Structures are given as structure tokens and as C-alpha cells.
Structure 1
Amino acid sequence: MTERRTYFAPQGGLAPQTQVLTDRAVFTESYAVIPKGVMQDIVTSAFPFWDDTRAWVLARPMTGFAETFAQYVMDVAPGGGSDRPEPDETVQAGIFVMEGEVEITLGDSARTLTPGGYAYLPAGSGWSLRNRTSGHAKFHWIRKRYQPVEGLDRPEPVFTHDDDVDPVPMPDTDGVWSTTRFVDPSDLRHDMHVNVVTFQPGGVIPFAETHVMEHGIYVLEGKAVYRLNQDWVEVEAGDFMWLRAFCPQACYAGGPGPFRYLLYKDVNRHPAMHL
């Protein structure tokens, strides 16, 4: 029997005036935690040429924060969407659906993504997106400027689903820690990866990962205690974390169910040699 997946999406709304102002939001020079309680109506954005759509901007390139990517949670009402969603032809996209469904048109072909569905859309591909259902659609939109390499072709579009990709167990973990990879990690045409990482209850990252890849992490399911630089923080479904390059990280999955998160990282390119 296939395990039923769940994907937590922001619900919006606004906290009452009686609520005590205590939360887990943290912003530092090496990491940030944006908990689900922060994603309320008052902090949404609207974008040109997007109809009946609002967005929670989780990360954007800026001094002292994300350097390589932007990440949004998009909330598209029935009939909404965009025929010209991407304003920059040099920017590629990763789309991961959490709630509802969307139709993505690329050239003469239209594909429908349901919860757990993932699309990689190359830079300059001229894609469009519509919600043709009677309910809201919520999905992650990850944007990164593509870094072409002379002698390497550009990658093709990818349409797949969380359930259709076999998770790869991490070495010596007996499957307690695994990664669902939507593109082949050995394909050097790609300069970003968007994966789903899964820890079974009690699973751990048993060392402080310290590496050049920048991360955007959105918790899809479950809860854990996460190590960010020198701090341990509690995170749960709906929380977002940004980790600067070389920020130490580790985690303990808390249970009672799996701890799963959507992971962005920049890969397969030389660091730019400028200051």
C-alpha cells in the first residue's frame, strides 16, 4: 500500500489582537527561520501579470540574505494564474505543488500538476500557468538565474511527481534518511537541485554539514529539532529556513511521523571569482 503524503501549505488569515506576541521567527547573518505563523494575509505580495494570485516571498537575493535564488509560496484562486509569469528570460523555475492543482503550458503542450507534482522549467522557455479548478492552488515557485556553460547543452523541461521517484537512501542509514531527487545529480547541465528529503522518526543528520551550497528548506510534513550555525531550533510543517553557504546544519527528526522538507541548493558551477 502506497504511503499517503501530506504537504502543508500556508492558510493565511490574521492573528487576533488578543494573541501574545511570542514566536519562533529568527533572522541572523547565517540563517533565517520564517515559521508558518508569520505567513498571514498582511505579508503577501502581488505580481504584475498574475491574475487572482498572492504570494508569500520566503527568500530573495539581497545583501546578508539569499544570494542565488528567490522562493515564493503562490496562492492562486480559481481561474487565476499568468500567461507571462516570468519577467526575466535568464531565470529558470522549479514548481512544487502542495495543494489543489495547476495547469502548466509549455509550447503546444499542457500538463497538470497535483499535490506532490514537480516541474523544472528552463530559462526562456515561455511557460504559463493557470488554475482551472474550483479551489485554490498553492505551490512553491523557486527562481534562479541560469548559469550556462560553454560546451554543455541546456537542460530540458522536467515534469514528475513525488510518488513517481524512488527515494535514494543515504549511505549506512538503513533508509531512515533518504532523498527524492527530481533530476539526475550527475547531469551537470543543471545548476540547481530541488529535492525532497525524508527522515523517519528518530532519524538524524549525524554531523554538522558545512558546505558551499546555499539552502532554502520548507518543511512539508512532521517536526524536528534543527541545528543552524550554533543554535538548535524547533521546526514543523509550514516553516521555512534559509541557510547561507557554509552555515553548519544538522537535525533530529521528532516523530511520530516522517519529517519531510523541500530542499533547494545551488550546484555544479565554479564559485564566481569576484568580491
Structure 2
Amino acid sequence: MTLSPYAGPVAGLPPQTDLTTDTAIFTEAYAVIPRSTMRDIVTSALPGWTGMRMWIIARPLTGFAETFSQYIVELAPEGGSDSPDDDPEVQHAIFVTEGSLSLDVGGQGHELEPGGFAYIPPGTAWRVANSGRDTTRFHWWRKRWQPAPGTTRPDPIIAREQDIAPAMMPGTNGAWGTTRFMDPADLRHDMHITLVTFEPGGSIPFAETHVMEHGLFVLEGKAVYRLNRDWVEVGPGDFMWLRAFCPQACYAGGPGRFRYLLYKDVNRHAPLWPTG
């Protein structure tokens, strides 16, 4: 079995001798769910699936982040589903971190390996299965698609992060880059999934404060991340969950690069009614 370059849940259970002190925190502005808390006893399962369990690391909460859910799904060999989600208004994104995944989107079959990405538009039939002999893990984002005047539903996307050249942020000398799975100019999309990379010492040098909600899952490396008024050290397998307008910044700690998967909601009016 080939080791994956992408971190995931630790699973299992810690020994009884371990201390309970950890970096897990939930505030009015952000949450940190560290890898060490993603254990067997906090997994969930879904009807219509076989050989699966998942860690639900984000879900809409009234007054917090309200636009998306994010799962880490673990599939045993031959596990999967012919009907993963029966809500026709929900769009999906998948990023594979371990194993191999057979994905059928609208009758078109695809094989995804670690680094493989898929976007599935709302109202599209899809199926998923573990096509290998080892456990498969993938991230799964769900968001109800919001129509807008002059837009149609986006097309499916199948991609590999290894084939996409990162867009480098100006003035950073290559220290900060973003791998974009959706075209930022395509206003049909109301969410973006990206992979953000910082070289050692790279930083977000100001407190980003904006309307987008965020889910950030650390795939590699370590950093000190500013969340609201706090600086929190994060590393591989940790998850950060930010509500709108939560200030954020970071310093990549090295010695290797710091990388995370990023969700954000984009390209739509701010709703003027309760969304909970």
C-alpha cells in the first residue's frame, strides 16, 4: 500500500494513559477540530451506503457557518453507494486523499486516485465505490446550489491537483499559491474548493476579514494560524471552521510546505432572510 501525502483522521482510540488536554476549541467565531479528536467513536454512517463510515467535521449551524457540510469518508474495499444523496438541489465536491475511487457522474465513469477532484452539479445522478483492495478516504463537500439571474447549473469537473499549476499570489516570490479546481471567472459557481500552499516562512500578512465562510483542512505541514483574536498552532489532519467576518492570517512554520484544502462560498448576494 502506497503512503498518501495527504493527512487524514488518526482513528483508533488513544490509550487510557493519555491526557485529555487538546487543542480542540469551539468559539462564537471559529472552531478547531484537531486530528487527535477524529477517533472511531465519533464516526457516523449513512443509509444507502455499504462499507462506509465518516467524520462530519462541518454542518450548517444557525448563527455560525450556514452554507455547507464537510465529511471525511472512509470506504472499505467494495464499499460505496448507488445513491449517495437524494436531494436534487445539492451540489457536491470530492477530493481523494487515500486509495482509489470509482466515480460515475451522469453515466460517465472515472477513476480517482489521491489528488483527484470531482465537482458534481445539483440534479446529477452519481455513484461511488471503492475500486481497490485498500481503504479509500475522501473529503465530501455538500452545498445547496443558489441560482442567480443569467446563470445555469455548472458542468461537472474531473481533475487532478497534480495537473493544475498553482496561481501564485502577487508579491510573494512564490511563497503563497492556490490550486483552483473551479474557474474564478465562472459565476455559475457559488462555492470554490481550492488547495492552498505556503512555502516555509510564507504568510497571510494581514487579517483577512470577509463575508465568505471557510472550512480549512490541513493536508501537510504546520503553521500558526490567527483565528479572530487567537493564534493557534495547527498541523496535518487538523480542521479549522470559520464563520463570516472571522479575521484570519497565518505564518507557515516549516521545515516543509504548509498545505490545506479550502472551502468558501462565493458569487452571490448576501441573503436578506434567516438561513438557519
Tell me the TM-score normalized by structure 2: 0.97
2:156 corresponds to: 157
Map 1:45-124 onto structure 2 (within 5 A): 45-124=44-123
| Comparing 107-116 and 44-53, the one that deviates more | 107-116
Q: Note the alpha carbon deviations across 1:209-261, whole angstroms, 9 max, x for none.
A: 00000000000000000000000000001000001000000000000110000
Map 1:122-271 onto structure 2 (within 5 A): 122-271=121-270
Tell me the TM-score normalized by structure 1: 0.97
1:10 corresponds to: 9
Secondary structure of the 1:163 match is helix
Unaligned runs of 5+ in 1: none
Cα RMSD, aligned residues only: 1.1
Secondary structure of the 1:188 match is coil
The number of residues matched between the two structures is 272
Question: Among the aligned pairs, what percent are the same residue?
Answer: 61
Alpha-carbon separation, structure 2, partners of 1:197 and 1:90: 28
1:22 corresponds to: 21
Q: How far off its partner does 1:62 sit?
A: 1.5
Alpha-carbon separation, structure 1, partners of 2:123 and 2:264: 21
Q: How far off its partner does 1:101 sit?
A: 1.0
Q: How far off its partner does 1:5 sit?
A: 7.9
Residues 17 and 5 from structure 1, CA distance in 2 versus in 1: closer, same or farther, beyond 3 angstroms?
closer
Alpha-carbon separation, structure 1, partners of 2:23 and 2:30: 13
Alpha-carbon separation, structure 2, partners of 1:133 and 1:5: 14
Alpha-carbon separation, structure 1, partners of 2:10 and 2:96: 15
Secondary structure of the 1:198 match is strand
Alpha-carbon separation, structure 2, partners of 1:184 and 1:84: 28
Alpha-carbon separation, structure 1, partners of 2:59 and 2:88: 17
Alpha-carbon separation, structure 2, partners of 1:265 and 1:204: 19
Q: How far off its partner does 1:15 sit?
A: 1.1
Secondary structure of the 2:125 match is coil
